[in-house]
A = this chain, B = another copy of it.
Amino acid sequence: MKLTILGCYAATPRTITNPTAQVLEIKNRLFLIDCGEGTQVQLRKNKIKFSKINHIFISHLHGDHLFGLIGTISTFSLLGRTTDLHIYGPKGIKELILLQLKLTESWTTYNLFFHELESKESEIIFEDKKVIVKTIPLKHRVYTNGYLFQEKPDERKLNVEAVQNYDIHVAYYQKIKNGGDITLDNGTVIENEKLTFDPAPPKSYAFCSDTVYHEAIIPIIENVDVLYHESTFLESEAALAQKTLHSTAKEAARIALKANVKQLVLGHYSTRYDGLERFKVEAEEVFPNVLLADDGLSFEF
C-alpha cells in the first residue's frame, strides 16, 4: 500500500496548508479519501493520475473534508472521463452534488454512483478480488465514518524447487497456489505446505478522522499496519477537544496502543499551533511508532 497525504490540516485553509484529502494506492487501485477544497490542485501537484481514481470516500459532511468534491467531479468531466465513479459518504451527499451539477448545468461525461451511508455499525461497503473496505463508525458532531482498507490474502507462492522434485505437471500449479494438496500417480498425497510458501501478509490501513477519543473503534482497527488518527489538538486543549468532539495527540496514541497497530500517523492539526513536533513528542509518551502527516508526504508500507 502507498499513502499520499494531500492535505492534513483542520478547517481554515491557509496559504501553505490544505484541508483533509489523501490517496491510498492498493494493488494498482487508487482510493481518494476525503476531498477538502483544493484537492484537485493537490492531486496535480502530487502527480496522481485523475483517471485512476474510481472510488472516493467522504468521512463526513464538513467543508474541510468535502468542499473540493464538486470541483473534482466537474474537472473529471472537463477531462473527458468515461469510467464510472463511485462516491461513498453520509446520506445527503447525493442531493448535495446533484443539485450543484443541476444548477451549474454541468452533467458528468461518466456514470456517477452514490453509496450513501447511514448505519451506525461497521459494514463492508466495497469489495473486489484484491481489496475490501469497511466503515469505522466515529463519534463527531455530525454522522461520520472512518474507513478500513484491507488487502485480501494473496494466493500461496509456489515452491518451484519442491514442485519440480515431485515432477508435478504445470497444469496443477494454479491448484497448488490456491492451497490444494496433490496426489501423485503412485497415490502419495503431497500436502500443500510442502509445495508452497506463505504469501506476504495482507496489509491494512485505517483512516479515522474526525472523532473524539472513542474506544468503540478498537475492535475494528485492531492490528492494522497503519492507523491515521486525527489529533486536532494537544493535551493542553483537552477540554476543547472534548467539547468539539476532536482528539488530542495523546488520545490518538492511546487508541493506537490499545488497538495494537504497527504505525500511528497523526494529522488534522488545528492551525493554532506553530510547528508539529509537539504532536509527535506527546504521542510518543504513549506509543512508540508515530509519524507526522504533512501535505505532500507519501510513504509505502
Contact = CB atoms under 8 A, between A and B. Distances in A.
Interface of A: 11-15, 37-38, 40-41, 44-45, 61-63, 66-68, 70-71, 74-75, 78-79, 92-93, 95-96, 99-100, 103-106, 141-142
A105 B41 contact: no
4 A-B pairs with the lowest CB-CB distances in the bound complex, closest first: A92-B103, A37-B71, A63-B74, A67-B71
If over half of A's interface residues share one DSSP class (helix, strand or loop), that class is named, otherwise mixed; here it is loop
A12 B105 contact: no
A89 to B, nearest CB: 11
Given A37-B40, A37-B68, A38-B38, A12 B75 contact: yes
B71 A13 contact: yes
Contacts of A71: 13, 37, 63, 67
Contact of A13 (B11, B40, B99): B40
Choose among A45, A68, A103 the residue with the greatest number of B CB atoms under 10 Å from its CB.
Answer: A103
A106 B63 contact: yes
A95 to B, nearest CB: 7
